[in-house]
Every structure is written in C-alpha cells, then in structure tokens.
Structure 1
Amino acid sequence: MNEAPIGILLGVLVFLLFLSAFFSGSETGMMALNRYRLRHQARSGHKGAIRTSELLERPDRLIGVILIGNNFVNNLSAAISTVIAIRLWGDGGIAAATFLLTLAVLIFSEVTPKTLAALHPERFAFPSSMILKPLLKLLYPLVWVANTLSNGLLRMMRVNPDEGSGDQLSQEELRTVVNEAGSLIPTRHKGMLLNILDLENVTVDDIMIPRNEIVGIDIEESIDDILDHLRTAQHTRIPVYKGDINNTLGILHMRNVAKLINLEEITRADLLNETSEPYFVPEVTPLHTQMVNFQKNKLRSAFVVDEYGDIIGLVTLEDILEEIVGDFTTDVDDISQDITPQKDGTYIIDGSASIRETNKSLDWELPIDGPKTLNGLITEYLEEIPESSVCLCVNTYHMEVLQIRDNMVKTVKVWTA
C-alpha cells in the first residue's frame, strides 16, 4: 500500500466511502420498511419484497452482515487515509486525515444515505437485498460467530433475543393507522372501519329499540284490530305477544302473512302458526358477538332482556349494520331526527334520544358510561323526576327541561358553554 500511487489510493478511498454509504443506507432502509406493505408486496410476487422478507426473518443475521461489512470498509478507509496523509504531509498529517475522514464518513456515508433511506426505504432495501443475500451466505460463518457472542451477552442481561415485539397491532394502534391513512382511504370507508373497531365496545342495549317503542301485535285483541295493525305495519318482522310484551309468543314475518290472504277467514291460530320462535339475548352482549350470533342462527332480530329476564328492547341486524355504515334511510351527514337545531345555536332534543347518537350527530361528549338516553341522564343527575321545567349543567353542556309527560322528560333545550 505504501508503494501504490496516490491517485489509486484516493480512488480506492472514494469507492470504500460509497460502500460504507451502501451499508448504512441498507441498514436504515431495511429497518424503516413498512412491514405490512412489504408483506402485501411479497404475497403479490414482488421479487425484491420476497428477498427482503427472507432477510428480515432473521434481523440479527441481517444486521450482523451489514455491520461486519460496514466496519470492515470503515476500518480499511481509515488505514488508507492514514497512508495518504503520511505520504503527503508526514506524521503531522495523521490528525488532519482523521478529521477529514470523519467528516467525509459522517456526511457522505452516514447522514446522507441514512436520511435518503429513511425517506425512501423501498428504493434502498429492495436493490440492496440482491447484494446482501449472497453476501450473507458468503460471510455466514463470521456472522454466526458474531451473532452467537452477541446473543450470549443479551442472555446474560436476561434479554431473550428470540422474543420480538411482533407485527401485531392493538385496537387503538389500528385505529391510529386508519386515522392517519389520509386520502389513501375515503372518508366514508374510514368511518366504517372505525365503526367496526367500535363494535367490541358497544353492547346491544346501546342501540336497541326501547321497550316502549316496540311496535307489536297483542294476540288478545280482536282479529279486526290485528289485521288493521298488519295492514299499516312499517316493519317486515312484527313481535306477537299476549297481553304484555314480556309474554312474547314469537315473531311474525309479513311474508308469511301474505300466505294467509287467500284464506276466507284469518284466525289467531293461523297467525300463531306463521310465527317463529322468539330469540332472547342479554343486554350486555357486545355488538360484534351479536352479529356473529345472528349469522350463526340465521336470524335478523332478537329481544334484549335484563338480568331479571324482562324484555327491555329489541335489536335487529339492521341496527348493527347501521352502526357500521350509517343510517340507511337518511344521509350520513344529516342530524338525527330527534334533534332540532335552533337559530340561536341551541338544540331542541327529544328526551328519548340516544346519548351515543346525539354525540355522533353533534360531535359532543356527553357521558355515556351511565344512562343510555337524555331522559335517563337528566333524571340520574337530578336524582328525581322533575315536576316542572328546570335548568341544569352536565359538564360543559347546559340543559333546560321544556316538557315533562308520563314521568319522562320529553323535550330538552341543550347548548354548550
């Protein structure tokens, strides 16, 4: 080396700096890859992604071969720069060579390639895998020794090198991924994905039709009244009960009622023969579980019961689907029909309005860990049923009870502070 021309030594030094930049950029590019995108590309047959995935299956070996190559190149660069400095400036040039080489390595072989690799990891990782994969096979004995010693030190520190953090995402992490997707996912689809994630935290009693709003047929009524109810029914499935909704006999599908049209006279027995068995679910059943149950049992509706077995509401498959895709009958941006905006910025809200739906419609944060309706929230806060119009403040929301009927708050004026 001492007899080689200065020009050749400088050329070799520049080449080694490029090699150092290659190893530095490859390390950052490999580690900065989006593992889910990489997995998708590999399954799609992308050769670069397949090679890179194979290398990343053992990151300790990949890092080992990169660092072995990088350290070798940097040490050789230091030796050559020392020889060049001595031949040009004598022993006094060693300090200058050290400074200049450190600056060159820092700028050209570390910061610049690593920054580029962090910004465009695939452009670095995929091409570099063509070199790193055969290089790993070539240097495998040396890599194996380095990894064995390194992993041994980690185990002495009670760190298991075989344990990885894994690529699994928690629900909240997945929610962040969806929110940060930006224009990659349309707003409507993003909302649906987030709603699916919320199914686990929502139970059937959050979305059920309350007991007092269930429209059904009392089989003890006259047959003419029953037929009038059927003619004006707005639903395809109607509960049939005897005297009280807690004494439910079954669900009558309007399609089955059509079969009875040709009969000269329709009797209660004919109607009962066309009903299907009622299906009951606990009020604490999560929506995602109930959706699976509907699918498994080939059903579309269920009665919700409390801990005492009393019916408190009715939940349908459509209710669950609306939690995901939004209301089928109104535009997703429309305010709930229970909410009437006023010119002064306040809202007149029905007391039976769901707190969850109110929060969704108005982007509010009324407490949802207690009562399900606005009426329930007010009576719980007051600890009594108000006998006249009263005003109250719940967190930052001001409320004025406007109408009370049948021991319930019927309408409320609400505005934010």
Structure 2
Amino acid sequence: MTLGQNLLLLLALLIAAAFFSVAEIALAASRRLRLRQLAEAGDTRAEEVLRVQQQPGHYFTAVQIGVNGLAILGGIVGEGVFSPTFSGFLARWLEPELAGTLGFIGSFVLVTSLFIVLTDLIPKQAGMAEPEHLALRVIGPMRILVRIFSPLVWLYSRTADQLMRLLRLPTRRDERITSDDILALAEAGTRSGVLARGEQRIIENIFELDTRTVESAMTHRDRIAWFLQDDPEDIIRARIAEEPFSTYPVCRGDIDHVVGYVDTRDLYQRLLNGQSIALTDPKLIHKVLVVPDRLTLAEVLEQFRQVGEDFAMIVNEYSLIVGLVTLNDVMSTVMGELVSPGDEEFIIQRDDHSWLIDGATPIQDVGRVLGIEDELHGEEYETLAGFLMEALRRVPRRTDIVNLGGYQFEVMDVDTYRVDQVLVTRTAPVPPAGASAAGQLPD
C-alpha cells in the first residue's frame, strides 16, 4: 500500500475507535430520568438505551472488542507508516541500527498520542457533555455490531461473568435514587441557573422534615394564646382583638389541662347571629390533637392527614404542654425565606458580618445561614437557646458569649429564663467542616 493509502487507513481506524469510545461513555453517563422522559415522548431509541443500561454486559464487551482491536491495528498500521519515515530521516545523522530503534519509538509515541487524544480524550469529553443525545445516535449501529461480534461477545461475556462471580463483584448497577442524589441534583441545578436559590432551599427543607422534630417549628408554651373554659365573654373578645388567631386552645384551670380548642369562625358566626360565645357551650369546643414532642415534622403532617386537623398541642414525657404547632408552621418551615413578609423573622442580617437571631430559631436554620452546619449539631438541643445552654452548661444571661466556628454568639436579651435575642458576629473565616470548636465563657 502507498503512504497515502496507509494514512487513510489509519484515519479510518481512528474514527472507528472514536465511535466506540463515544458509545461507551454515552451509555455510562446517560441519565435514566432524562431517558425515561424521551421514551415517554415516543422515542424508541431511548427505550433501547434503557434496556441496554439494565444489562450492559454484551454492549460493553462489543465496545471493548472494537476499541482494543482497532488500537492494535492502528499500532501496526502506524508503525508501518511512520517508522520507516522516521528511521530514514534519522539515518542521515545516526547509525542505521540506532536510527531504526529511535524511528520505532517515535512512531509508537506518535500513534499512541493520536489514539489518546482523538479516540479517548475528545470523544469522552463530548460524550460527557451530551450523553443522552449521543447514546441515541449510536445505539442503532452498536446493536448491529453486537450481533456481528456475537460469538466473541458471548465468549468474553461468559468469561467476565464467571470471574466477577468468583470475585463477588456486582454485575448490575444500583438504580436506587436516594435523598442525597436529589439534593446533589438540586445543588447542581442551582449552580447552573436552572433552579433559583430559594427553590433549592425548599427541596432541602422538604427532606429535613424527616429529621426535624416538632419542637423546631412549634409556638412555645409562653407564647400560646389560650382561653380558660370559664372565661367571660368580654375577656374572650379582648383576647381575640389583641392576639388574633384562627384557633385557640381551651383549658380547665391551666394550660396543662387542655379540654379542646375553639375555632374563631364559630365565634364570629355566633357574634353575627347575636348568640353567646361562652366556652361552657360544648358545641363550641372541638377535640384537640395532642402529639409528643419527639415526633418529626413529617410524622406530624401524617397525623394531620389522618385526623383531618391542622392544629395540635405538643406535650413532653411528663404530659405537660410545651407548645403548639399548626399546618402553617410546618409549611413555613418548608417555604423558608419564601413565606410572606408579614411572618416573623427569626434571623435578621444586620451587615455582612453580624446577625440578630431569636433564641427560639431552629438550630438547623442558624447553621445553614452561617455556613457551620457541621459544628452546630447535637441531639440535646433543637434551638439556638438550647445550643447556648449546652455550651454554657447553665441558663444563659445577658452578655454571655460563646465562640464557635469563627463566630461569636453574644446573648443580648433574656426574658426571665428565655433567651430572646442573640447577636452573632463573624470573628474569623469559617473553618473547614469537622474543625474542632469549643464554647468560651465570658471573663
């Protein structure tokens, strides 16, 4: 063969090897979710790719036969094309034997470099950029090649399967999608601009419903507006006007003895009809849902669904009321910063380096805003106030300071024993996750 024919043959081998390389990476990198969407849209090629992904053994065997066979042929052709040329060129200055050796080495390096760049790096980068599109393009030709190579495919596949069983290696890809996979996709979508930051936050909050306890979203005991069952009507009217809510717990004697709740719609209806709104009327009192304080928000939502309520009282292990939670509280936790601006803000950023935070703020929210989720974790506390108590080992007082993760937490206001406001100031760059930090008491 002439030099031109050999070069054309080498070019054909490079193109064929590049095809097999694209076929390999496109199938491996194709996203099943995207392929399902294409299949549901009527693309039969997507269905074929999905089937091959389930059992890719024969497909990859054919790919490897093609890749390795073409690489060997390319080496033979390339050595025949370039080695004599290089050797003849070097023989002008070197001995024939040395020139022949260096010519062979030069030919080997050149052909190997061509195969690395043109049949491996470029095709695989292109395949990673648009895997589904390329997988659909190559699935037809690859199906034909699998049939052509079927005897060799069967032999090599059987050999590989037996060796994998012997080595106890998995033969199928785990297609289960975990919450971590979804969160990673959401983060990638935010970085690429497909998702807004607030939308990603909602997705993260939804998955946190299984880990957040109801205490992180409840209205605390000392903030609950409630009625005694024997309260006179003028007190009921005054309290509704001062603290307007849709529902109020009704108690006997004190808040720890809840007999039910009253809906303000029922009270308004009675007022419009000129009827009494005294809570001694059993028709006004609805049965209240009572849940333990260790339930997660996901479990509370399930309780709401089962009983058809959107309001529950929360009790601790001593059967004392510790708070109240509504469906709106849970949804506000999910919506986060997208809730209406009329809602109470627990975290107020004063400037780039300081925040004013309510002591009742869930510790997960504090960690997320400050970027120190790994440091602000613990099973003994749910709120910022709980974290301060754990760090100080006592009830916090005004001017108490705790340092953690490059931030200073200073207690600004305490109402009786309740931590109202905490000033958080950045004191140093946030350390890497897992860095040790300890609480520091004031001098």
TM bin (shorter chain):
0.7 to 0.9
Change in Cα spacing, 1:260 to 1:68, as seen in structure 2 (3 Å) is same
Residue 209 of structure 1: which of 196, 219, 222 is its match?
219
- Tell me, in whole angstroms, the C-alpha distance in 2 between the residues paired with 1:55 and 1:352: 53
Q: Does 1:55 align with 2:66?
A: no
Moved more, 84-93 or 323-332: 84-93
Match of residue 172 from structure 1: 180
Q: Is the Cα–Cα contact under 8 Å of residues 404 and 411 in structure 1 kept in the other structure? A: yes
Change in Cα spacing, 1:400 to 1:65, as seen in structure 2 (3 Å) is closer
Residue 155 of structure 2: which of 145, 152, 155 is its match?
145
Amino acid in structure 2 at the alignment position of 1:200 = D
Residue 280 of structure 2: which of 256, 261, 269 is its match?
269
Moved more, 358-367 or 197-206: 358-367
Match of residue 336 from structure 1: 345
Q: Is the Cα–Cα contact under 8 Å of residues 210 and 314 in structure 1 kept in the other structure? A: yes
Amino acid in structure 2 at the alignment position of 1:176 = A
- Tell me, in whole angstroms, the C-alpha distance in 1 between the residues paired with 2:226 and 2:320: 16
Deviation sequence 1:156-210 (CA, Å, 0-9, x none): 223242x43x133433343222112120112221111111122222110111111
Q: Does 1:66 align with 2:37?
A: no
The alpha carbon displacement at 1:18 in A equals 1.9
Q: Does 1:254 align with 2:251?
A: no
Amino acid in structure 1 at the alignment position of 2:222 = N
Match of residue 26 from structure 1: 23
Q: Does 1:310 align with 2:320?
A: yes
- Tell me, in whole angstroms, the C-alpha distance in 1 between the residues paired with 2:352 and 2:37: 52
Change in Cα spacing, 1:311 to 1:145, as seen in structure 2 (3 Å) is same
Aligned to 1:239, the other structure's residue is in SS state strand
Alignment of structure 1 residues 392-411 onto 2, 5 Å: 392-395=401-404, 396-401=406-411, 403-411=413-421
- Tell me, in whole angstroms, the C-alpha distance in 1 between the residues paired with 2:159 and 2:393: 69
Alignment of structure 1 residues 272-291 onto 2, 5 Å: 272-291=282-301
The alpha carbon displacement at 1:377 in A equals 4.3
Change in Cα spacing, 1:146 to 1:357, as seen in structure 2 (3 Å) is closer
List alignment gaps of at least 5 residues for structure 2: 89-96, 428-443
- Tell me, in whole angstroms, the C-alpha distance in 2 between the residues paired with 1:87 and 1:406: 94
Q: Is the Cα–Cα contact under 8 Å of residues 336 and 361 in structure 1 kept in the other structure? A: no
Match of residue 165 from structure 2: 155
Residue 43 of structure 1: which of 19, 40, 43 is its match?
40
The alpha carbon displacement at 1:119 in A equals 3.4
- Tell me, in whole angstroms, the C-alpha distance in 1 between the residues paired with 2:349 and 2:138: 62
Q: Is the Cα–Cα contact under 8 Å of residues 217 and 241 in structure 1 kept in the other structure? A: yes
Match of residue 433 from structure 2: none
- Tell me, in whole angstroms, the C-alpha distance in 2 between the residues paired with 1:367 and 1:128: 50
Aligned to 1:313, the other structure's residue is in SS state strand
List alignment gaps of at least 5 residues for structure 1: none
Residue 329 of structure 2: which of 319, 335, 338 is its match?
319
Amino acid in structure 1 at the alignment position of 2:57 = D
Amino acid in structure 1 at the alignment position of 2:345 = S
Q: Is the Cα–Cα contact under 8 Å of residues 245 and 311 in structure 1 kept in the other structure? A: yes
- Tell me, in whole angstroms, the C-alpha distance in 2 between the residues paired with 1:331 and 1:239: 24
Deviation sequence 1:294-333 (CA, Å, 0-9, x none): 123211011111112221111111011011112633179x
Change in Cα spacing, 1:142 to 1:255, as seen in structure 2 (3 Å) is same
The alpha carbon displacement at 1:400 in A equals 4.9
Q: Does 1:242 align with 2:252?
A: yes
The alpha carbon displacement at 1:50 in A equals 2.8
Residue 300 of structure 1: which of 304, 310, 314 is its match?
310
Aligned residues: 407
The alpha carbon displacement at 1:83 in A equals 6.5
Moved more, 185-194 or 167-176: 167-176
Moved more, 98-107 or 131-140: 98-107
The alpha carbon displacement at 1:407 in A equals 4.1
TM-score, normalised via structure 1 length? 0.82
- Tell me, in whole angstroms, the C-alpha distance in 2 between the residues paired with 1:251 and 1:331: 25
Residue 116 of structure 2: which of 88, 99, 106 is its match?
106
- Tell me, in whole angstroms, the C-alpha distance in 2 between the residues paired with 1:340 and 1:87: 74
- Tell me, in whole angstroms, the C-alpha distance in 2 between the residues paired with 1:128 and 1:23: 9
Amino acid in structure 2 at the alignment position of 1:308 = Y
Moved more, 207-216 or 259-268: 259-268
- Tell me, in whole angstroms, the C-alpha distance in 1 between the residues paired with 2:342 and 2:163: 62
Change in Cα spacing, 1:324 to 1:67, as seen in structure 2 (3 Å) is same
- Tell me, in whole angstroms, the C-alpha distance in 2 between the residues paired with 1:155 and 1:364: 45
Change in Cα spacing, 1:276 to 1:151, as seen in structure 2 (3 Å) is same
Change in Cα spacing, 1:357 to 1:8, as seen in structure 2 (3 Å) is closer
- Tell me, in whole angstroms, the C-alpha distance in 2 between the residues paired with 1:408 and 1:111: 62
Percent of aligned pairs with the same amino acid: 24
Q: Does 1:17 align with 2:14?
A: yes
Q: Is the Cα–Cα contact under 8 Å of residues 240 and 251 in structure 1 kept in the other structure? A: yes
- Tell me, in whole angstroms, the C-alpha distance in 2 between the residues paired with 1:169 and 1:154: 25
- Tell me, in whole angstroms, the C-alpha distance in 2 between the residues paired with 1:361 and 1:104: 50
- Tell me, in whole angstroms, the C-alpha distance in 1 between the residues paired with 2:232 and 2:77: 106
TM-score, normalised via structure 2 length? 0.78
- Tell me, in whole angstroms, the C-alpha distance in 2 between the residues paired with 1:358 and 1:73: 58
- Tell me, in whole angstroms, the C-alpha distance in 1 between the residues paired with 2:298 and 2:349: 32
